[in-house]
Amino acid sequence: MTIEKIIIGTRGSKLALIQAEEVISELKKVSNKYSYELRIIKTHGDKFNKTPVHKLGRKGVFVKEIDKALLEGVIDISVHSMKDLPSTIPEGIFLGAIPKRKTYKDAIYSRENKNLTDLKSGSIIGTGSFRRRSQVLYLRKDVNINNIRGNIDTRIKKVDKGEFDAIILAKVGVQRLNLKINVFELPEFILPAAGQGALAVETRANNHNLIKLLSKINDQKASLETLAEMAFINNMGGGCQIPIGVLGQIIEKSLHLKGEILSLDGNQRISASITGKPYEYKKMAEKLANKIQKNGGFKILNKIDEQLKRREISIE
């Protein structure tokens, strides 16, 4: 039997490579017809790893170069953290699988081993995310938020060296890297980024063999939940510059979708939820976005747009 090689494109961080290996492991469980080779691709976000993400000036800063390699046939499959995907998949690319999702929660790592509530007033908290910035300020107006970039290990070291008192990070990254550190989950009502905790596996839209292969590792529950989240972001018109959180959960055959938008200073938070049939997630996402926008979210969006154009607020 001839073994066909599949080239998988990924970013080069330790976490990205672990995620790609997870996907390979799942693919080997469903077929023995293929061998796999990892191809590391440096993205725009990787090349400018000290610049705040919102200043890089385009969507998909961690995926665009990988998409290009996929469309040009340099690679056959790409593996991404789903939260890095733009809300609209580029033409010619097919989202073939969203494997079983791991924890979606954000967590805090602090030098003094304290949770967000117990941090001292004036503490310096690191994040490169407008969403996390606004959510923290919503809970703690008395802390300072500074920009931080780099992989998880780099960010943790900056806390340990005293450059930051704490950082906000995705708990799933700590788990995947098997880091022996103590983190505290943020409160349950704090919503994650769309797709957080899930992986997205893509191939070319005309590669029917690989589409069929990837369908075998797709988790239906994770797929419907995260696609609902992405649809909500798309309807809200949000990107990395907009503090929007969203969570989809299928419980007892019903999809529960919760969304929120916050002002950049954390003073305002508009949230809402909706429940319906999982396969109607697109209509649900549209209804939820409309509800939040009508309840004040549209005004927040417009204000953020004006603030960013005037460069009034930034994470430096």
Q: Which residues are catalytic?
A: 84
Burial class (CB in 10 A: 0-12, 13-18, 19+), 71: middle
CB of 191 closer than 8 Å to CB of 247: yes
CA distances to 98, 221, 251, 280, 281 from 254, rounded to whole Å, are: 19, 11, 5, 10, 10
CB of 224 closer than 8 Å to CB of 95: no
Classify residue 180 by its DSSP letter: -
Task: Give the phi and the psi of residue 34 in degrees, each rounded to 5.
Answer: -130, 150
Q: How far is CA 295 from the centre of its chain?
A: 26
Burial class (CB in 10 A: 0-12, 13-18, 19+), 268: middle
Reduced to 3 states (helix: H, G, I; strand: E, B; else coil), residue 186 is coil
Amino acid identity for residue 207 in this structure:
N
Q: Residue 260 and residue 193: Cα distance in Å, rounded? A: 10
Dihedral sign computed on CA atoms, order 187, 295, 129, 258: positive
- Nearest in space to 4 (alpha carbons), one of 43, 26, 29, 37: 37
In 10 A of CB 281, how many CB atoms? 24
